[in-house]
Each structure stands twice: as C-alpha cells, then as structure tokens.
C-alpha cells in the first residue's frame, strides 16, 4: 500500500511521522474519510467543508489548497487501486518538542491513505441488518469537531465486538441517544417520519446524515430533528445508522431486543437505493 506523507507518496511501511508529532502526543489532529464507490470519491466537497471547520475550530493551519488536497486524495486512491473502499486523511498541528500549549512556527503534518473494502461483507450487513448495543456517552463535549481523539469510540466499538454486535450507540446522561461510535443514528416513527438528533454539540454533523436529508426530501419522507430515548429507539418501526463508510446500515436488534420484526425496514431500503443518485462523485 501507498501512503502520502507531507508531500511524498511512499510504501506504507516506510511512511513515518515524528514521535513528537502532536497528533501522536495530544490527539491534536483532525481527519476525514470519504467512501470510494465504483472509482469515484463520494461527497468530497462536503467533507472538505467539514475539514475546514474542524481546522478552524482548533486553529490548525490549512496545509494546502482545496485543489491540491483533492489531487492528493485522488492520487492516493489511484495508486492504491481502490475502486470500492475509502480514502482517509489526517492533519495534525505538526511536530514540536512536547509542550501542551501551541508551538510557534510549526507546519501541519498531512497524511493520507486509501483502502479497499469487503464489498460482499458490507452488502450482507445491509441485507440482514446488524445488532447494536447502547453505552453511556463518556466523550468530551466537542464531538462536533472531527478529531482523532477517538479512544472512547474505540473502547465502545470493542465492547460491541465482544457483545457480538456491530456498533455501540452512545446515550447521554438524560437517557437520549447521541450517536454511534462511528455513525449517526436514525429511527422511523409510527407516522413513517425519520427522526434524528439535531447536530448540535452532542454529535458529529455527519455528511451522510446531511445527504440523507436531501434523499428523504426527494422521496417525500419527512425528517424531524429531535432527541430520542433508548426506549423510543427500541420500539421504533425502523432504526438505522449512517456513515461515509457504510452509507446506510439497518439495525435489527438493540441490547439483544429485536427491532420491529427483526428484518431491515422498507423506508431504509428506499432511501439507500436513492442515495447514490443524489451524492456527488469525484472520479479518481
């Protein structure tokens, strides 16, 4: 595999950043990941918009122009021969002798990789749906910034794996669902409306979430942005997850309790079918 590091494309085992990189020592770094489908990067423009916001929130300098970044991402995908998978890129504040406060005159570290995805496994998850578990949300308050500080998310995903589940969904102190460890959460209510948590500071504003709202509008499916409880989710007509990696993944059980009749719902299927008509494609 090939990795891009600060201006060079190198074999991944030779790709190195400093031990004193702030991404390594403080998780002082932001990232993005886009799906690659049939040789095109999906919704790149929106991911670049969100990256700009993450960088601005942390006052990390933008390492290069949008056009240059787009070139690097396409090149990484192309050099890794990824037709279906994802491209991942990360920008840290840079490397400097360890000190919590921002160092002066440091240059950001920019790395990018691309990886093929097991298309058959993803199709099976979509067809059969997945089990999820719920866990208390123990993350910091600024999960709206897409930083690499993902230890609570990694621990939650591991707990899901150990419970035989695909994803762990976080629940806030008031009993409302926030989001998954790497996905946003939706339900379909009794009236056939989509319900998802408002993208305030409790969740990441998912790009797939935003695009799905447009898909829903095109399909005349109403969307309500409001908080919902675990009980409401467990008794919903349908539940599903959205993320750039999986696009839309139906949930068929929660903490061992079956959702509706235990098979993926029809509204999720309809939205999923239309998704790629509406998503933007950047050929690699």
CA dist 46 to 227, 245, 284, Å?
A: 24, 15, 17
The 8-class DSSP code of residue 5 comes to: E
Nearer to ligand PLP, 244 or 268 (CB): 244
Question: How far apart are alpha carbons 25 and 98 in whole angstroms?
Answer: 8
Count of other CB atoms within 10 angstroms of residue 7? 9
Stretch that binds ligand PLP, among 62-70, 102-110, 178-186, 231-239 (CB under 6 A): 178-186
Nearer to ligand PLP, 94 or 240 (CB): 240
The minimum distance between CB 184 and ligand PLP, in angstroms, equals: 5
Under the criterion CB under 6 A, does residue 94 sit at the interface with ligand PLP? no
The minimum distance between CB 98 and ligand PLP, in angstroms, equals: 27
**Which residue in 242, 259, 265, 279 binds ligand PLP (CB under 6 A)?**
242
Task: State which of positions 190-209 bind ligand PLP (CB under 6 A).
Answer: 204, 206-209
The minimum distance between CB 48 and ligand PLP, in angstroms, equals: 12
Stretch that binds ligand PLP, among 11-19, 56-64, 242-250, 253-261 (CB under 6 A): 242-250
Structural contact between residues 227 and 197, judged by C-beta atoms closer than 8 angstroms:
yes
Give the number of residues written for the chain. Answer: 284
Count of other CB atoms within 10 angstroms of residue 117? 17
Is 81 noted as a catalytic residue in this protein?
Answer: no
Instruction: Please give the angle made by the CA atoms of 67, 33 and 157, to the nearest 5 degrees.
Output: 170
Nearer to ligand PLP, 51 or 95 (CB): 51
Under the criterion CB under 6 A, does residue 183 sit at the interface with ligand PLP? yes
Under the criterion CB under 6 A, does residue 243 sit at the interface with ligand PLP? yes
Q: Which of 37, 146, 157, 234 is catalytic?
A: 146
208-211, long-range: CB < 8 A, 24+ apart: 208/43, 208/184, 208/242, 208/243, 208/244, 208/247, 208/248, 209/184, 209/242, 210/46, 211/43, 211/46, 211/275, 211/278, 211/279
Nearer to ligand PLP, 28 or 43 (CB): 43
Look-up of token digits 């060079």 = 8
Under the criterion CB under 6 A, does residue 2 sit at the interface with ligand PLP? no
Stretch that binds ligand PLP, among 19-27, 101-109, 240-248, 266-274 (CB under 6 A): 240-248
Count of other CB atoms within 10 angstroms of residue 165? 21
| Catalytically active residues, by annotation | 146
Q: List residues binding ligand PLP (CB under 6 A).
A: 153, 179, 182-184, 204, 206-209, 242-244
């Amino acid at each position: 595999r090939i990795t891009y590091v600060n201006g060079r494309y190198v074999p991944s085992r030779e790709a190195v950043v400093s031990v004193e990189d702030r991404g390594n020592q403080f998780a002082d770094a932001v990232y993005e990941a886009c799906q690659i489908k049939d040789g095109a990067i999906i919704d790149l423009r929106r991911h670049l918009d969100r990256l700009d916001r993450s960088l601005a929130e942390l006052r990390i300098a933008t390492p290069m122009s949008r056009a240059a970044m787009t070139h690097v991402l396409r090149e990484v995908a192309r050099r890794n021969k990824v037709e279906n998978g994802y491209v991942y890129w990360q920008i840290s504040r840079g490397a400097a002798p360890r000190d919590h406060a921002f160092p002066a005159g440091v240059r950001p570290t920019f790395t990018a990789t691309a990886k093929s995805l097991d298309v058959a496994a993803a199709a099976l998850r979509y067809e059969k749906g997945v089990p999820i578990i719920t866990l208390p949300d123990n993350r910091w308050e600024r999960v709206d910034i897409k930083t690499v500080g993902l230890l609570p998310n990694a621990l939650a995903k591991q707990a899901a794996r150990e419970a035989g589940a695909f994803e762990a969904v976080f629940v806030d102190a008031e009993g409302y669902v926030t989001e998954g460890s790497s996905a946003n959460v939706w339900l379909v209510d009794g009236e056939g409306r989509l319900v998802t948590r408002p993208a305030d500071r409790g969740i990441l504003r998912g790009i797939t979430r935003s695009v799905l709202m447009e898909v829903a509008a095109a399909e005349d499916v109403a969307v309500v942005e409001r908080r919902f409880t675990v009980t409401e989710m467990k008794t919903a007509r349908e539940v599903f997850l959205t993320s750039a990696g999986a696009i839309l993944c139906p949930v068929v059980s929660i903490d061992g309790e079956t959702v509706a009749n235990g098979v993926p719902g029809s509204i999720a299927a309809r939205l999923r079918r239309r998704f790629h008509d509406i998503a933007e494609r950047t050929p690699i």
